Structure 1
Amino acid sequence: MMEHVVKEKEELFRTISDFAYDAIIMIDDNGCITYWNKAAERIFGYTRDEILGRNLHEILAPFHLYETFENAFTLFRETGDGIAIGKTLEMPFIKKDGTESVGELSISSVKIKDKWHTIGIVRDIRERKKMEEELKEKVEELENFHKVAVDRELRMIELKKEINELCEKYGEKPRYNLNVEG
């Protein structure tokens, strides 16, 4: 009876995990991957069979951040705590095809058999970052257009003032009414 309940719970967990949109990854106290769901396969490009037992930081961390990750993991291994635990961070990673991408990473720690393990949930935010960059470019473009339009309008006012001054100088009536009424 108890064995049946455990199997049902395991099956339920596996179903939830396999249909989750975000990657669910667990690493042990040596930094080796012990759990890798289907979303992780899709996001990172590695199958479960290719990745289980391998060091997460060696495979997924960008070279320039590897040492930082390893130093932080040393502290985590001893205390179960660290600067990323309990937070959501944007984190660069290297996919199987060698391209660098970015994910939103939430990390928690759990003690299993007296050793600290990390559970990470990773959301691929590459498309969101791309849209944010496009939006930023459009805002800059609009700001530049606005500046050009305002500068043009100010230049037109200056030219009209000069024309009015020339008209007055030669005894003619000013051509432009530049009085601003509020």
Structure 2
Amino acid sequence: MIQRYGLTALAVVVGLLFWPLEALMHAFVFDKGSFAANLFSSDPDELWMRTLITLSFIAFGWLAQRSLREQHRLQERLILKRDRLSQIIDLTYDAYIAIDDQGQVIGWNRSAEQMFGWRRQDVLGKELAQLIIPESERAAHQQGMQRYMQSGIATMLYRPLQQKACHRDGSLFTVSLVITPLRSGARQEFFAFIRKQDGIEKLSAGDKR
């Protein structure tokens, strides 16, 4: 109740307090009669001014409260949409991975857990290259990231790719994916939906960690 009507109620209180405050000023600051005489003044101009100011306070409080409620409802809708999108991504068939501009994992759904053998809580904040990219291809991945961050140019974005990926148990397999950059405020992020292709290879000696 307070959250719903707090600003309006506060405005009413302030508006009503204006009457005795204004009477105090007239009585003790401007020395225009007693406090009681000023408070219960029957001067139509004085009454009109007090009423107008009081109503202005109330109107302002009501408008502020209404704006606050609208903002709160909008925020709730945004949270619901965000949660719904997170649930959709988490339950999608394709593996979903997101990284920040440092190459650290910030998104990892259930399909990614099954595909790569890493649980979400174990990979968040870790460097993606050390988790799923074969050792022989990590340098190229990191160079591509640096080149994009410096120039905004990359040849592997926005188009279907086939790449080798590494499971937690060391096996290699081919995946198809599309990498998309996303600007989130001042941060640069990247996300990809990944689908596993048929065929699994054993990790070669050159790719062993």
With structure 2 as the length reference, what TM-score do the two structures score? 0.58
Is the CA contact (8 Å cut-off) linking 1:23 and 1:37 kept in structure 2? Answer: yes
Task: Output one character per residue of 1:102-154: Cα deviation in whole Å (capped at 9) or x when no partner.
Answer: 11010111112223211111111125x99xxxxxxxxxxxxxxxxxxxxxxxx
- Asked which structure has the greater CA Rg, the reply is 2
Where does 1:1-182 land on structure 2 (aligned, <5 Å)? Answer: 1-126=73-198
Is the CA contact (8 Å cut-off) linking 1:80 and 1:116 kept in structure 2? Answer: no
Deviation at 1:50, TM superposition (A): 0.5
Deviation at 1:14, TM superposition (A): 1.6
May I ask how many residue pairs the two structures share in their alignment? 129
- CA distance in structure 1 between the partners assigned to 2:188 and 2:115 by the alignment: 25
Residue type at the aligned position of 1:86: Y
- CA distance in structure 1 between the partners assigned to 2:94 and 2:147 by the alignment: 26
The CA RMSD measured in Å over matched residues stands at 1.7
With structure 1 as the length reference, what TM-score do the two structures score? 0.66
Residue type at the aligned position of 2:87: T
Is the CA contact (8 Å cut-off) linking 1:93 and 1:100 kept in structure 2? Answer: yes
Residue type at the aligned position of 2:119: T
Task: Output one character per residue of 1:69-128: Cα deviation in whole Å (capped at 9) or x when no partner.
Answer: 11111112224431110111101011111111111010111112223211111111125x
Question: 3-state SS of the aligned residue for 1:6?
Answer: helix
Is the CA contact (8 Å cut-off) linking 1:41 and 1:48 kept in structure 2? Answer: yes
Question: 3-state SS of the aligned residue for 1:21?
Answer: coil
Residue type at the aligned position of 1:115: R
- CA distance in structure 2 between the partners assigned to 1:77 and 1:99 by the alignment: 31
Once the two structures are aligned, what percentage of the paired residues are identical? 22
- CA distance in structure 2 between the partners assigned to 1:4 and 1:120 by the alignment: 28
